[in-house]
Structure 1
Amino acid sequence: MAAQTGTVLHENVREEIMRRVRSGEYEVGQALPSTASLSEEFGVSAITIKRALRDLQPTGILRSVPGLGTFVREHRRFIRDLDFSLTSHADALRLGLEPSISLVSLTREKIVDPAFDPLEPPGHLMLCVRKIIFADRTPIMYDTSYLPRSLDDAVVEEFGEKFIGDALRARGTKFTRTKLLIDAAPASEQARETFTIPNGYPTLRRLYRLDTTDKSFCVYGVTESPFDRLACMVELDAEPKKSRR
């Protein structure tokens, strides 16, 4: 019988580990056996085991924690409306989520990421609010928002407890239009730390611009979410709207 190639070996290991996860043999949150143990069990090299484990991380099956090991990820995925930015607590509840936020930082920065260019951001310093958004105590989004620096300090202080949309609406801000740019991009350093995902892991990235009745007041931002954690849904009319004559 011909010897199996390294590629076949690592694929066999990968499929067996995936089977064990899906069958519940390896439970959510459980640490997998060490590389040495798996190597001995499967009768393959440690390199083959590491390759199989590495392949499973981008699929959302496993996550690696430096110094601790490889763990089974929770297979829960949240689905939300495409135009829903989680800036409103009421909207989150409407979608069946119990939302909460954790304020990461408040700084003053310019928008320098060229990905924002289609949204026509200003070139001056803005108030930058970074936060983690949770649904049912599970982190689902890392959000970076940019707002005018003219905001009252009392409103800014509320961002640590309220969603930006709720805080601004309570102060009389009226949103008129949302512009979205959605793509896939490698996770930022902050998102990698938030979701404990490896470098290069692709995320669902949504850049947005929220216009208000005050043309000089716009909110810009970007949210990042692992594909296995969050998905967007859009509903369109089946028939096109009649054009005006």
Structure 2
Amino acid sequence: MLKLLGSLGRYCCSSAKSGFKIQPSCISRIWFGPMPKDSNWIKPGRLHFIENDVEKQVDIIKTIDGVVVILYNKSRQKLIFVRQFRGAVYQGIHSAGSSDMSKGEADLQKFPPELGVTLELCGGAVDKHKSIVEIAKEEVLEECGYEVPTESLQHVYDYRSGIGTSSSAMTLFYCEVCDAQKVSQGGGVESEEIQVLEMSLEETRKLVQTGAVTNGGPSCLLGLLWFFLHKAPKAST
């Protein structure tokens, strides 16, 4: 499994255009520690309830809601993805087979940083006092470098992510762009290190074929399946 995921990371690197801000190899050290009580992103808790006269409980995590955008460049008939290192994914692979959280220093020879690099659709957290569509518009610009009007963002789905633990609300949009709307290289803001990747429809179909392996989340697979069901025939004509 580790070999397969590592190969996926190298495939994405070799398929990407030049000019990325970083490559995953720039991560020189990884270590694990306890979560601080003042985290702005995650709030753990325990919910108690009585069902059929039996008291039950479940451990939960409060996380920030998010937006995801299926971005399609109609000038080149390619879908646009982002790649970035996700610590949660890396930890999940690092601690696979154990019920405990990883601790201490990670062995980068045994667990190279590329294992935690994901392939995702453009998206971000709903952490501003703006409408969902305005936040989606900002994410398209910040991550992928396209300036788009809010009217071009088609609402697709509202759904929940991680319903066993966090259940954050997610909103999925679809947006078509052209080369003329490209105003920057993207790559994220502040400390973000995001790589932009374009893939042909033929390449992308392989991500949703039976037996495919990807480090991306379910939002990416959901968005791609919707695209191929509703948009790909029109987009490829």
Q: Normalising to structure 1: TM-score of the pair?
A: 0.22
Q: Which has the larger radius of gyration?
A: 1
- Higher RCO, 1 vs 2 (CA within 8 Å, ≥6 residues apart): 2
